[in-house]
Amino acid sequence: MLNFAPEINNCMSNLSNHTGDINIQRPELWTLQLALHPRVLRYMLFNPGQDNTLIAGEIPLDTSCESYLQAVENAVYDNSPLLDDYGRVRLLADTEHFVLLPAEVSDENVADELLRAQYPELEGDTALCELPVCGVKLAFELAPDVLGFLQRTFNMAPIVHHLQPLCDYYARFCQRSGVGRMFLNFHDERMDMVVFDRDRLQLANTFPVRSTADAAFMALHAWESLGMDVHSDELQLTGDKAVRDQVSQELRRYISYVMPAIFPAAAMRLSHDAMRAPFNLITLALCE
């Protein structure tokens, strides 16, 4: 079994119990980012005009609530610093039901139809976000009524799928590249996989992983299916360090260039501890 350690160490677990640790005099200068996960609500606060201002942590969701909506509502309302008048709020949804669409799809009803065609069992609401650097869009599901609550509470703040910032960040990294690259991000007993053929997005998906063998098998299967070269193309890993070290050791048996992804230097302006924050929230901050 893979052992996924907490992604954020030595930080606040509940804002309402640590309000003395948050000293934001002018919230209109700050950005709030929230990531909705099935079990927790993760947050990141920072002032883009000032270095070393990152505040990050997570709030466990009460799984005994009648609905996911109620659990999210309680987490937000019970932690009043989330409701300050921030200059910018950005939302990220960690959901397994999604579909990549051509950039020309702009009608949300069409996006909803295409998503439900892929997942006929859907009961929630559909949101649509753009991956501007990749030149595609992504339709994804949110639990019933969660989208409406977030838009009312955070003044129509944009919401994106958790793969969106990873794809757009790595698309910038791969521009004018002469090799194909696969990126793996490990978190929450799952593996995000983003693959580029030079500067063109080929694959973006998230897989549950229970063991090193699972992760390595899925990566190698995708590598072979996409016709990637084991001698010249690259595989880069980020996320939980213990897990990526295990998977890297396995993958190096088959692929020549397997390495940790270089952590964005720009992220270190947010905090010297930025590497402890979830990578999708870090890349979301960098893709403003």
Please, which residues bridge with residue 257 across strands? 234
How sure is the predictor about 257, in pLDDT bands with cuts at 50, 70 and 90? very high
Give me 256's structure tokens. Answer: 């020549």
How much is the pLDDT for 283?
A: 95
Per DSSP, the residues of 63-111 read TTSSSHHHHHHHHHHT-GGGGS--SEEEEEE--S-EEEEETT---HHHH
Summarised one tens digit per residue, pLDDT across range 65-118 is 999 999 999 999 999 899 999 999 999 999 999 999 999 999 999 999 999 999
Summarised one tens digit per residue, pLDDT across range 39-64 is 999 999 999 999 999 998 889 999 99
How much is the pLDDT for 25?
A: 87
193 touches 234 (CB < 8 A): no
Q: How far is CA 137 from the centre of its chain?
A: 16
The C-alpha atoms of residue 57 and residue 69 are separated, in whole angstroms, by 20
DSSP helix/strand/coil, 46 = strand
Mean pLDDT of 209-226: 96
CB burial string 29-57: b at 16+ within 10 A, e below: ebbbbbbbbeebbbbbbbbeeeeebbbbb
Other C-beta atoms closer than 10 Å to the C-beta of 267 total 17
How sure is the predictor about 273, in pLDDT bands with cuts at 50, 70 and 90? confident
Summarised one tens digit per residue, pLDDT across range 148-199 is 999 999 999 999 999 999 999 999 888 878 899 999 999 999 999 999 998 8
Measured CA angle at 236 (ends 234, 240), to 5 deg: 165
